[in-house]
Amino acid sequence: MVLKHRSGWGYETLMREVSDLLPLRRFCRLGLAQRVPDESTVRKLTRRLGPEVVHELTRLVIAMARREKRFRPRAARIDATVVEADIRYRTDAGLASDGVGALAREGRKLAKRSGAGARRCGIDRVLLGCGCGR
């Protein structure tokens, strides 16, 4: 409950993170072989205790961690990794080219489905009964 209050996670996310991360398991005093409680169990327990008790538990755990020098309230870890990458901005001509490519792709699919009964009209055009007289 303290982890949920401090992290802002939902119950499902909290249980998933506790089951995956060893430091969180250790904080919750769960061994490797122990099963993490279901999110509905924690939800019911939190509702039964009430928000005042949960807030008080959170306050006591943080105070105890401060006394033991395990908690620095203003410390933060930031990852400011920057990766250089070329940016290709979309243009009208590029969007039109993509549209023509998509139409051509769908035309090829249609030609495969129609089989031998399709007539060719022109070099790259497959039409079903275009009526052009060729």
Question: Which tens digits make up the pLDDT trace of 45-60?
Answer: 888 888 888 888 878 8
pTM of the predicted protein model: 0.41
Q: Are 62 and 71 in contact (CB under 8 A)?
A: yes
SS3 126: strand
State the pLDDT confidence band at 100, using cuts at 50, 70 and 90.
Answer: very high
User: What phi and psi, each to the nearest 5 degrees, are found at residue 122?
Assistant: 95, -170
Q: How high is the pLDDT of residue 101?
A: 92
Asked whether the predicted pLDDT for residue 110 surpasses 60, the reply is yes
Model pLDDT for residues 13-44, shown as the tens digit of each residue: 888 888 888 888 887 788 888 888 888 888 88
Handedness of CA 78, 79, 85, 87 (dihedral sign): negative
Whole-angstrom distance, CA of residue 128 vs CA of residue 65: 77
